[in-house]
Amino acid sequence: MKTKTKKCWRKSEKQYLHLLDSFVFTVCAATIFTFCICSWLLDINYKYTIDMTGPVVDVNHIFYIAALASAYYLIRKRQIQFDFSLVLLCTVMVFVAIIDYHTEDYVPVSYAWILPMAYILGKLIVGTDRETINEKIVILYFSMAIPMYIQSVLDIGSNWKTGWALGTERWPEFWTGEIEPRTTYELGFVLTTSAFAFALYVFKKHTIASIIIIAANVLLQYMVMHVQGRQNPVLLILTILIVGCLVVYDRWHGDNKRLKKIFLTATTVGILIVVIIAVLFTTNTFGLMDKYKASYWADGGLLKNERIDINLTAFRSMLKWPNDNYTERAGLDRAHSMVLEYGRVYDMTVYLGLTLIRLLFIFQAIRLTLVKNSNSWIKYLIVPAFVSLNLYYTMEPNAYAHRYFWMPGLFFSGMIAGWLELEGRKIEK
């Protein structure tokens, strides 16, 4: 009788914990969705600005929810592993906050705990169950991708509504009417663009969802082209190539002669196409080079991206003035990169710390790409997104100006770290 009662109690305890897990996960997913669709309303300035008007949500509220959820997941996990990436991230962000505080720039100080919390939550929320971890990542991915997409549609749609009369560089965003550059609005499309190749991969199993993702990509590319955006079209091609390479890598083995034949044929055809296009452009056949030069792609676009030159100049300037803000010291232009902007404002030590953090995240992503098992298919979704977000952060300074823009990237890095940690525990067993 006692044994039967004990079994019933354990069963009810598992059911209770399952319901609690589902509740906490749902709250987190809902918070992420709301955060991503209303991110323009997040602010800390209102604490220090007397005459600030309009709707505002304190970004620290996101931190409180994430902290409570992370504490819950850590208790459920019952294990703490040393994470050098997290320690380094916290150290650099605290160092930045101390500088901000002493210069009386109080608004960014809160990001000393907000940004690391995005990584922590991403690492813990995936859980410790290999059977559900990929499902959780997919849900979290689209809990972020869908609202970001909607917000960018609203932001660019406000320009579309005027017949594109607001230009292609800067115009008011939807929620608050603040003037922002086109590249800021393009960030909201990055995750949907990155999911395009994954939609093709799972088309047979999830046809309706795949069609929705493909249709969303058609719309976003149309909108981006109208405002002369370049990032998402390039990322679309890049992420298709990444997923293609990952699929080939996973299925490549000695007995699969058919795959090897297809791969070699596709590679040969691809190289020939690139060579033919290069020759056609070089010789200006059919006026292709003239048409390219007359398009917006030639204006700091594909073949000559001015951001690269700007960032190289900024890096040299930082080497020349490693402890000074070279914009204030020598009147030089700002960088077009998140990490370089941190280095410009704070000093080269912060730049080196953030660069090392990003290299550690890249190493984790590479480790995920090299895993071959029945559960590693999630890399077809999360690795292209990781690459796309980090390319965006490398070529755009927005995640420095609006620091919560880095939170999606940190969250994805945390999920990759959590997935690898669970995989490592399985190997140890």
Asked whether residue 278 carries a pLDDT value surpassing 60, the answer given is yes
Residue 330, number of CB atoms within 10 A of its CB: 11
pLDDT at 324: 84
Average pLDDT over residues 211-238: 93
Q: What is the pLDDT of residues 5-40, one digit of tens each?
A: 555 556 676 788 888 989 999 999 999 999 888 877
- Rg of the Cα atoms in the chain: 23
Give whole-number Cα distances, 387 to 134, 330, 361, 424, in Å.
19, 34, 11, 23
Distance CA 376, CA 369 (A): 8
User: For residue 25, what pLDDT is reported?
Assistant: 95
| 293-320 mean pLDDT | 76
Distance CA 127, CA 29 (A): 14
**Mean pLDDT value across residues 138-154:** 95
Q: Give residue 56's pLDDT band: very low, low, confident or very high (50, 70, 90).
A: low
pLDDT score for 425: 67
Q: Which of 103-107, 180-184, 364-368 has the lowest average pLDDT?
A: 103-107
Amino acid at 60: N
Confidence of residue 299 (pLDDT cuts 50, 70, 90): low
pLDDT at 174: 87
Q: Which of the pair, 310 or 149, is modelled with greater confidence?
A: 149
pLDDT at position 340, please? Answer: 93
The pLDDT score that the predictor gives to residue 328 is 81
pTM above 0.85, yes or no: yes
- Assess whether pLDDT exceeds 50 at residue 429: no
Q: Sort strands 179-181 and 170-172 into parallel, antiparallel or unpaired.
A: antiparallel
Burial degree of 359 (CB within 10 A; 0-12, 13-18, 19+) = exposed
pLDDT for the residue numbered 18: 81
What pLDDT, on a 0 to 100 scale, did the predictor assign at position 179?
87
Copy the structure tokens of residue 378: 């999630």
